[in-house]
Each structure stands twice: as C-alpha cells, then as structure tokens.
Amino acid sequence: MTEPEKRRRRRLDFLVARLIGATRKDAKQLIKTGRIEVEGHETGGLKAQTRVGVEDAIYLDAQQLEREAGERYLMLNKPSGVVSATKDDYDPTVVDLLEPELRRGLHPVGRLDKDTTGLLLLTTDGEWSHRITSPRHGFAKTYRVRVADPVTDQELASLEAGIMLRGEDTPAFAHDIKRLGNTELRLTLTQGRYHQIKRMMGAIGNRVVQLHREQVGPIELDPALEAGGYRELTEAEVMAFYPARNPPQ
C-alpha cells in the first residue's frame, strides 16, 4: 500500500470520535457494542483499530453520520503576539486567526514561540502532522534571524561546528548560514531543540531580536501571505512530505 493510500485510511475510533464530537473512549464503546457500521465491512469484525477509508459511509444506530470534506491542510504566516495553540487563557491563538468554519479539528504542526513570526502549518491530519514533526524524518526548518550585535566569522564557524548548550548531552548545530546584513542571518536547523536559535545565539554572547521562519521541509512560506494571512496547501505541497516514489494517486 502506498503512502497516499495509507493517508486515506484512518482508525475507526478516530473517525467516529470526530464525526460525533465524542472522545475516543466513547467511540470505542460504540464500536464494541455493535452500534457502529461501516460500508463494506462486516459489523461483527469491526474493532477500534480497524482502518477505514475516509470516504466510506459510517453509520451509528443505522443512521449515516455526516462526513466532513476530508482532511484540511493550511499554511499561515504567523504574526508576533499569537501563540501556537488551539486555545489559551491569556493570548490569542493561531486558530483564532482563521474563519470560524475552518477551525474545527485543526491543530498547529509543531509550534513557533509567541514572538516568532512566519510559516506555520495547520492540519486536521494527525498522521501527517506527526510525520513532519518526528525527528525520524528530519525535515529541516529555515529561519531569518536578526540579532543585537554583528556576528563575527569565528562565531559563525562556531554555530556550524556545533555548540554545547546547557542541559544538553550533544552539540546543537546550525547549517547553511548566510549573511543577509551585519546583524541578519539566514540559517537552517535539523534538530528542533527548545529555543534552539535563541540559546545558540546566547551561547556566543549575542541576542535574538527577531526570528522569522521561512521554510519547513520542502514548503516555503507563500510571499503573497501578509502577517496573519493563510491559505490551503495544494495537493502537491501536502504530498511533498512523502517519498517521491509514492506520487499522488
């Protein structure tokens, strides 16, 4: 089975929970007691972990559940002052920037700090999200960084050679560092450690003034998006995180 085919199938308890707005525990109980039926599947053989096509009809007590149009994938140009969360008691969230009808089920893919701007992906697809954030796949992230003081050639070399940060067992690295000005750099990370750029700059005696993410893996921030703006990803952009040998079906 190709990756696209796998992506079009989900655990039954996950789908039922989303469709009726219940918990996974409640969905599992409905499946266990035989109240859930799925087009093309024997009812007695259904289990919580049964993988079901996202377009298959699902019934609760013989009534078909209304399906959503499918998984959703967005890119957002995150502004400063907004937190990467679905809800927060004190600050506006990235989900608050969306039209209300788009918000259901969406979550940020990873996070950006409150004062960091730039590319943030959002989706309803948990498996796709996990693929992007998992260290196993190692998707790089590129940032534009403005610092308080000019960075010397020796300090740039230290960033690329690796810096041992407090509390870490292995060095932190920055790759493909390019000067954009006396106090501005573009660099790429593959490790994704907590506050990595800020901590690395602090380790060489500097301070981050502004941090903006330009790219995640193969996806670059759309230059047409103003701060707070967003758009849906194309199918090609969604599938760019999967091996080229498994093209869209």
Ramachandran sector of residue 94 (left: φ over 0; alpha: ψ -120 to 50; beta: rest): alpha
Are both 3-64 and 141-216 of the same fold? no
CB hemisphere CA count around 127 (13 angstroms): 13
- Reply yes or no on whether the pLDDT at 242 is more than 90: no
Active site residue 13: no
Q: Is the pTM of this model over 0.85?
A: no
Residues in Cβ contact with 176 at an 8 Å cutoff, skipping those fewer than 6 apart: 142, 186, 187, 188
89 — pLDDT class (breaks 50, 70, 90): very high
- Reply yes or no on whether the pLDDT at 247 is more than 60: no
Nearest-angstrom CA–CA distance, 63 and 60: 5
8 — pLDDT class (breaks 50, 70, 90): low
State the architecture of 141-216 in CATH terms.
Answer: 2-Layer Sandwich (3.30)
The three-state secondary structure class of 117 is strand
For the segment 21-28, the average pLDDT, to the nearest whole number, is: 80
Question: pLDDT, tens digit, for every residue of 127-156?
Answer: 899 999 988 888 999 999 999 999 999 999
- Look up residue 167 and give its two tokens: 């509390």
Q: Kindly report the CATH number that applies to the domain delimited by 3-64.
A: 3.10.290.10
Nearest-angstrom CA–CA distance, 45 and 236: 36
CA neighbor of 67 nearest in space, from 143, 5, 124:
124
Task: Given the residues 56, 113, 149, 222, select the one marked as catalytic.
Answer: 113
Q: What is the pLDDT of residue 244?
A: 53
∠ CA 103-217-209 to the nearest 5 degrees? 80
Mean pLDDT of the chain: 88
Q: Kindly report the CATH number that applies to the domain delimited by 73-136+219-239.
A: 3.30.70.580
Could you state, in order of their start, the residue ranges of all structural domains in the chain? Answer: 3-64, 73-136+219-239, 141-216
Beta carbons within 10 angstroms of residue 85's beta carbon: 16
DSSP state of 26: H
For the segment 15-29, the average pLDDT, to the nearest whole number, is: 80
- Reply yes or no on whether the pLDDT at 67 is more than 90: no
Question: pLDDT, tens digit, for every residue of 191-202?
Answer: 988 899 999 999
Nearest-angstrom CA–CA distance, 71 and 58: 16
- Reply yes or no on whether the pLDDT at 246 is more than 70: no
